[in-house]
Amino acid sequence: MTDIQRQYQDVRQYTEHLCEPLQLEDYVPQPVIFASPPKWHLAHTTWFFEAFVLEPNLSNYKPFHKDFSFLFNSYYNAAGDRIFRADRGNITRPGVQEVYDYRAYVDKAMESLLKNDDYKALITLGLNHEQQHQELLITDLKHTLSGNPIFPVYNEQFSIINAINESSGKVEISEGVYDIGYQGEDFHYDNEKGVHKTYLHRCKLDNYLVTNADYLEFIKDGGYQTSNLWLDEGWAWVNENNIKAPLYWHKVDGVWQNYTLQGLKVVEPKQMLAHISLYEAAAFAEWQDRRLPTEFEWEVSADQLDWGKRWEWTNSAYLPYPGFKTAEGALGEYNGKFMINQMVLRGASQATSPGHSRKTYRNFFHASSRWQVFGIRLADKH
Amino acid sequence: MTDIQRQYQDVRQYTEHLCEPLQLEDYVPQPVIFASPPKWHLAHTTWFFEAFVLEPNLSNYKPFHKDFSFLFNSYYNAAGDRIFRADRGNITRPGVQEVYDYRAYVDKAMESLLKNDDYKALITLGLNHEQQHQELLITDLKHTLSGNPIFPVYNEQFSIINAINESSGKVEISEGVYDIGYQGEDFHYDNEKGVHKTYLHRCKLDNYLVTNADYLEFIKDGGYQTSNLWLDEGWAWVNENNIKAPLYWHKVDGVWQNYTLQGLKVVEPKQMLAHISLYEAAAFAEWQDRRLPTEFEWEVSADQLDWGKRWEWTNSAYLPYPGFKTAEGALGEYNGKFMINQMVLRGASQATSPGHSRKTYRNFFHASSRWQVFGIRLADKH
Amino acid sequence: MTDIQRQYQDVRQYTEHLCEPLQLEDYVPQPVIFASPPKWHLAHTTWFFEAFVLEPNLSNYKPFHKDFSFLFNSYYNAAGDRIFRADRGNITRPGVQEVYDYRAYVDKAMESLLKNDDYKALITLGLNHEQQHQELLITDLKHTLSGNPIFPVYNEQFSIINAINESSGKVEISEGVYDIGYQGEDFHYDNEKGVHKTYLHRCKLDNYLVTNADYLEFIKDGGYQTSNLWLDEGWAWVNENNIKAPLYWHKVDGVWQNYTLQGLKVVEPKQMLAHISLYEAAAFAEWQDRRLPTEFEWEVSADQLDWGKRWEWTNSAYLPYPGFKTAEGALGEYNGKFMINQMVLRGASQATSPGHSRKTYRNFFHASSRWQVFGIRLADKH
Amino acid sequence: MTDIQRQYQDVRQYTEHLCEPLQLEDYVPQPVIFASPPKWHLAHTTWFFEAFVLEPNLSNYKPFHKDFSFLFNSYYNAAGDRIFRADRGNITRPGVQEVYDYRAYVDKAMESLLKNDDYKALITLGLNHEQQHQELLITDLKHTLSGNPIFPVYNEQFSIINAINESSGKVEISEGVYDIGYQGEDFHYDNEKGVHKTYLHRCKLDNYLVTNADYLEFIKDGGYQTSNLWLDEGWAWVNENNIKAPLYWHKVDGVWQNYTLQGLKVVEPKQMLAHISLYEAAAFAEWQDRRLPTEFEWEVSADQLDWGKRWEWTNSAYLPYPGFKTAEGALGEYNGKFMINQMVLRGASQATSPGHSRKTYRNFFHASSRWQVFGIRLADKH
């Protein structure tokens, strides 16, 4: 078995492994527009191989079902009509079993292409794409289950937030010109490309993340009620949505508990804080008279930092590097078109698939997003 | 087996019979707020017996699950906290099998009460309640499946719209004072009570309903584009929702087709029109220079009319009869509180459960509703 | 001066008289879609004479301004394109002076037609239309001024709510057949026509209206927090809009005050209640275990009732009388197309123009409306 | 007369000068939440001097009116309760004359403080604040008048878009480290502070802006219908709002015209393009296979560029410079809290007040904004 064959098998199986604890009903709903059902993730990642690998390259390939391209495309405008995103949870047919059959059918068809080195780069992109959806699958699922008033358990043994800091102190970067961007031969996204120089001023980043205990102090001190700690949009967001704590937190009989994939649990003070928006991260930083690092400070410090349990909000907007170029065709829609009104996160979380990050990796979300495993690392003000 | 025992068995089994063609995924979604998932209908009708029959009357009754009262109450404010209605489709646990177990558990517990004549009236109310939900179950399901771009088949042999007129001519009522309201000893709702006199002027009602062929003429004649045929709210509704045909109709390659429980089918000209709003019914009547009958004209004519395939829009608002009284307690919420901004429909449809209507039955919906099997009977203008 | 000449002069002057206390800025805004600016009322009532009286009947008539028909039409679809209703408050040109010039220009042009008896009926309709807008002008203006946090005074000497009951006891109607609808030769609307018989059961109506003192008891007793007093839609309305009192009421330092055209004033206990919705009227009636009368009971009792200070909610939906016919052309849009989802009010209010009501007059509004001078008369339950 | 006295007089008079062509009605409405009425701008800029200069520093100062602080505060949370922003257009009292009286009252009170050098910095901030509102006053007004179907003329002699390019060619910057940020002693905002180094790669910027003729080519080539030219949010924005041209453009009888302060005029091909969003700017750049410059490239090139007629969209997000600090108290809310989800514009427009810009000036708006005089300068791709 070659490397790519093994990787293909591992990644594809891992998606299904994540679904093992599910009841069949769990595969279906989409309570919010941004979180897709497991059934859709299983099918969409498979459609990616069908549409971008098999159909263009396997001459006798016959699609599994003529309507699946329509049903399971996500946002690739160039690849045909899409089903309206908010309807993903209302499409009951094809059923779950048929989607698993679709996966098996595509996996079988992939076998011959997996033997051919010409497709290795394209297949690797497909596998990285699937790994991204693995993280979404588990975080989307957490969001869906969290809305059930009986707080269902996904898996008694599994959590995506149970990490504590194992380092302390600060990491310092001296002033000067640094190289930014991916340098190497392995897989990486187009948005990491364009190695370029950037000038950094001296800075100090914590070698640990904000904990629940830290954040409980912020709440206790009236952080959510103090307008001048917040960005203007953040303050509007807090008030319109009546936000009083991180996502999934509930005060029950005076005690803060949080919904986890193991059910409702008491908030653990030593745990790294999770499920907060950039607005909350920025307000917390302001409360401590500190700041969020930029993505460039983070990348330059990365080799000295202890990271990998949380995606960490930076105060950098998601914008192209000098020399950024989008790929031709539908795959060109992958990253560039999202470069507006999103903020960069660096690191990796406990929900990130094994091997699916690196120090140059640029994750990005809207400032109000909370359902991913987002945390806070602080830097000293200049 | 007594009558009530047999009725109980028949009605309860019929609900499950309607679900036989379903895939498990079909039990889950709620794409629109007004249409509940099959799983919810199965559980809610069972909860009704648990909450209103078993708990107050069976001393040693132990509820099946402590959270079900919360999850499966619908609108009975007096019976405790309700889950927000729009979330019914996102609650994956309890799963479908657990809901069937719930049904069996309650049916078992009901056995002793079914032997006691004291509960007959209450149980009969529960069965009529379940029959109402049977009609909703099948019409809600049709609505959910209709949103799937591959137009799934529920059952190749089953339709709720395949009726044609078997009568012709008109029925005439002479001017005078008539009695209105239920007179008898059998089951009926509180909103039919209050037998009272009403004065009717001479009127003539068609002994047949409007057909698809009739309505196609209206469409062809520009009915949906002619403002002065429409009620003001109806005209706004047409324009805001870009309405161009009855619900479920699609023009495919120049041919009108409609989604049915047998899949997508060509619109059958001789069929009775179905799935139209009161706004459309009123505009169609105006286009023919005729009118919708009042509910009183309908009731007085009923014995001479051929009816039972469509719920028929009347031009009567749903309001209390003189002497109307609500029942005490939670059951009192059944009908009276909806007596505003709804219009009365008379008759029964092909989706109505066997035996679940009578000439005094007052069905009621908002003027914009279309997902029930609503049709049109016209009367001459005075 | 003939009667019609005098009426024309009186009505037209009364509109301008109502505007005397205004600052020029008050003529402009439209804070809510249902309440139009004074400038618009002044122009629209004038446009009515221009479009429906002058243009069809005065051969050499030249419209004042080519765009005014577009700007000041309201809802007469047949009379040409309308400006979107929500924009009325944002149209600063023509200015107020130009609108007064428009009035003078049209009044001048009307002089010759006022001498011709052929136009008397049409002109009388135009004057009644203008009287309706006089009531709206003052109630719309009250709504606009009420949103100003400094609570401006319109006129220290003028109020539309300062009435107290001058009668007591009840009026009883015996069971039987009664005539309903306008019988006579004077002006009346199409919706009052169609004299017809109706059957009434015995009923008793109060000869006085609910007072602020009565309603304060309802508030104190938790009326707004007791779900089972309310219609289902009413309960949703209360909760979505956080309703806790009649419109314009503010609790200031523990004391109920209300915004009036004389500024902010303490709520007067003996005053007839005003500015409540049908939802509130129905809940209040339920709280007293009484009910709202029907419009037919009201009309039959009218000669014995003390009425004229409030429009009084009835529990009758606004629907056509038997034999109702709409007029031809644009004027036919006057009433019939609103006959859905509105409730009938009978009587007249302190804001109603002198002479602009009668016992057969059918006013109608949505159940949630409160900005008109709406009050409550109760009837005994049957 | 000292410099500051003359500046105070000039700036304050210029605001009133801008209002000279107005009818009184024009001062009132606020059709969209982002555009305030002239009356409000006149009062708010005055309130700034009252609240931040007079009240803290003039011991015997008596505010003009106790409610004005409430009515005319904008977004300074620390300075007390604000009137809800969307209501500014509905507040008819105080009227326009009273607002002019307020201005005169405050100007009179300022006289003594203008003689004292201690307040020079604070007063200069107030004047720059007023200049910002001058640009908003005229662009807000244009937006309000543009919604009137009769397209009113503000001033036959005045336009904010009638500029053509007077330079050509490109400006090139060589790779290296550059200083960014304001260096000097004159007035500047806190967001320009924090002089710091940045590393720029070699780049070439056009020495001219995109013209209407250029943009007409983009429209003709189907730019608004070509999804892959657009940012994802931009594509959604185009489709949700049915955007087909820059703001204020109307196709009349096949000819593109645009609303200007001189009324409706044919689009002038040689004019610099105006009133486009960042989404449109980015799509246009992509269509030409070019890009928008960063704000740093712009600032470093500024001395060689011909600029000053348009605010120019850059592809830089509005974020703090290293070492950025907010001022203490309410004035600290001036800039920092808006540093999220906004893009930087550099330059100045024809609507910018004389002397109110410099090469380090950072203007910022949401990517969808169009009502300011925004244009496009392109750079070569790297």
pLDDT tens-digit readout, D254-301: 999 999 999 999 999 999 999 999 999 999 999 999 999 999 999 999
Residue B207 lies in a domain: yes
Select from B89, B114, B146 the last residue of a domain.
B146
What would the mean pLDDT of B226-247 be, rounded to a whole number? 96
Q: Are residues B140 and B194 in the same domain?
A: no
Query: Residue type at A263?
Result: G
Give me A190's structure tokens.
């187009």
User: According to the model, what pLDDT value does residue A70 have?
Assistant: 82
On whether both C238 and C364 belong to a single domain, the answer is yes
pLDDT band with cut points at 50, 70 and 90 for residue A329: low
Q: Cis link prior to B149 (omega < 30° from 0)? A: no
Mutate to test the interface with A, among D33, D74, D337 (most CBs of A within 10 A): D337
CA–CA dist D298, D294 (Å, integer): 6
Task: Give the pLDDT of residue A81.
Answer: 59
Model confidence band, residue A77 (pLDDT cutoffs 50, 70, 90): low
Q: β-strands D170-173, D203-206: how paired?
A: antiparallel
pLDDT at B69: 85
Give me the pLDDT at residue D247, please.
98
C-chain residues near D147 (CB < 8 A): 87, 90-91
C177's CB contacts (< 8 A; 6+ apart) are B177, B199, C197, C198, C199, C200
- Helix (H) or strand (E) holding A109, with range, is helix A96-114
Predicted pLDDT at D329: 64
D369 shares its domain with D255: yes
Closest CA to C317 of B323, B344, B230, B319: B319
The answer on pLDDT for B85 being more than 70 is: no
Do A79 and A175 reside in the same domain of the chain?
no
How far, in Å, CA of B138 to CA of B356, rounded? 15
Min Cα–Cα distance to chain A from B371, Å: 17
Last-in-domain residue among B114, B146, B178: B146
Check whether residue A188 and residue A315 sit in a common domain.
yes
**Number of C-beta neighbours around residue A56 at 10 A:** 12
Same domain, B106 and B178: no
Split into its structural domains, chain C has a count of 2
Which of D27, D90, D149 minimises the CB distance to C144? D90
C179 and C142 in a common domain: no
Mean pLDDT throughout B188-202? 94
In chain D, % of residues over pLDDT 90 = 88
Q: What is the mean pLDDT of chain B?
A: 94
Of C233, C323, C382, the CB nearest to B322: C382
pLDDT tens track for D144-157? 999 998 899 999 99
pLDDT of residue A67: 87
Cα separation, A154 vs D76, whole angstroms: 46
Beta bridge partners of C365: C343
In chain C, residues with a C-beta closer than 8 Å to the C-beta of B227 are 77-78
Closest-CA residue of A relative to D232 is A337
Q: What is the pLDDT of residues A227-260, one digit of tens each?
A: 999 999 999 999 999 999 999 999 998 999 999 9
Same domain, C108 and C179: no
Looking at the structure, tell me whether residues B282 and B230 fall in a common domain.
yes
The domain containing residue D34 runs over which residues?
Answer: 3-146
Determine the average pLDDT of the residues in C61-77: 84
Indicate whether B82 pLDDT > 60. no
Q: What is the pLDDT of residue D293?
A: 98
The predicted pLDDT at position B329 comes to: 64
Segment A188-214 shows an average pLDDT of 96
- Report in angstroms the alpha-carbon separations of B70 from B89, B123, D165: 15, 22, 69
DSSP-assigned beta bridge partners for residue B288: none
State which residue of chain A sits closest to D227, comparing Cα positions.
A77
Closest C-alpha among A370, A371, A363, A374 to residue A140: A371
Residues C66 and C98 in one domain: yes
CATH assignment at residue B302? 3.90.1580.10
Q: Where are the beta strands (DSSP E) in B231-310?
A: 249-252, 255-260, 263-266
Residue D325, pLDDT score = 83
C380 assigned to some structural domain: no
Cα separation, A296 vs A277, whole angstroms = 20
Considering only CB atoms, A29 lies closest to which of B24, B90, B147, namely B90
Average pLDDT for B254-282? 97
pLDDT band with cut points at 50, 70 and 90 for residue D194 = confident
Residue B117 pLDDT > 60: yes
pLDDT tens-digit map of B297-344: 999 999 999 999 999 999 999 999 998 987 766 666 567 899 999 999
pLDDT band at C71 (very low <50, low <70, confident <90, very high): confident
The mean per-residue pLDDT over the stretch D220-248 comes to 96
Q: How confident is the model at residue A76 (pLDDT cuts 50, 70, 90)?
A: low
Pick the last residue of a domain from A111, A131, A146. Answer: A146
Minimal Cα distance from B203: which residue of C?
A: C322
Flag whether C touches B (3+ CB pairs, 8 A cutoff): yes
- Answer yes or no: is C303 within a domain: yes
Tens-digit pLDDT profile for residues D39-97:
999 999 999 999 999 999 999 999 999 889 888 887 666 555 556 666 889 999 999 99
Which residues have CB under 8 Å from A32's CB, separation 6+? Answer: A143
Which residues pair with residue C260 across a beta bridge? C263
Pick the closest to residue A22 from A192, A109, A113, A144 (CA basis). Answer: A144
- Compute how many other C-beta atoms are within 10 angstroms of the C-beta atom of residue D183: 11
Closest Cα in chain D, distance from residue C134 (Å): 20
Does residue C118 or residue B80 have the better pLDDT?
C118
At residue C233, φ and ψ (nearest 5 deg) are: -65, -35
d(CA A348, CA A126): 19
* Pair C196, C302 in one domain: yes
Q: What is the per-residue pLDDT across C308-344, written as a single tens digit (0 to 9) for each?
A: 999 999 999 999 999 898 776 666 656 789 999 999 9
Amino acid at A31: P
**pLDDT score at A88:** 87
Residue D71: give its domain's CATH number: 1.20.120
CA A315 to chain centroid: 17
pLDDT of residue C69: 85
Q: What is the nearest CA distance from B327 to chain A, expressed in angstroms?
A: 31
**Surface-to-core class of residue A20, CB atoms within 10 Å of its CB (0-12 exposed, 13-18 middle, 19+ buried):** exposed
Average pLDDT, chain D: 94
Average pLDDT over residues B180-205: 94
Q: List pLDDT tens digits, range D305-364.
A: 999 999 999 999 999 999 898 776 666 656 789 999 999 999 999 999 999 999 999 999
Residue A114 within a domain: yes
Question: Higher model confidence: residue B267 or residue D78?
Answer: B267
Is residue D382 a part of any domain in this protein?
A: no
Q: Is residue B154 part of a domain?
A: no
Residues C340, C363: Cα–Cα separation, whole Å: 13
Work out the widest C-alpha separation in chain A, in whole angstroms: 66
Q: Mean of the pLDDT values across residues D192-200?
A: 94
Q: Is C156 domain-assigned?
A: no
- Closest approach of chain C CAs to the CA of B305, in angstroms? 21
pLDDT category of residue A75 using cuts at 50, 70 and 90: low
**CB-count burial class (<10 Å; 0-12, 13-18, 19+) for B270:** exposed
Overall average pLDDT of the A252-271 stretch: 96
Q: Which residues of C touch D98 (CB under 8 A)?
A: none
Counting one residue from chain B and one from chain C, the pairs whose CB atoms sit within 8 A come to 90
Estimate the crossing angle of helix B38-49 against helix B120-146, to 10 degrees: 170
Q: Are residues C363 and C276 in the same domain?
A: yes
Of residues D168, D276, D172, the one with CA closest to residue D218:
D276
Q: Would you place residue B367 in the very low, low, confident or very high pLDDT band (cuts 50, 70, 90)?
A: very high
Q: For an interface test with B, which of A91, A97, A154 has the most B Cβ atoms less than 10 Å from its Cβ? A: A91
Greatest mean pLDDT among A358-362, B71-75, C147-151, D82-86: A358-362
What average pLDDT score do residues A97-103 get? Answer: 98
Domain presence at residue D165: no
Chain A residues inside the 8 Å CB shell of B93: 23, 25-26, 145, 148, 150, 152
Pull the structure tokens for residue D68.
Answer: 């004005």
Average pLDDT over residues B363-380: 98
| Residue D365 confidence (pLDDT) | 98
Q: Residue C104 CB: number of other CB atoms within 10 A?
A: 13
Task: Give me the pLDDT at residue B71, please.
Answer: 87
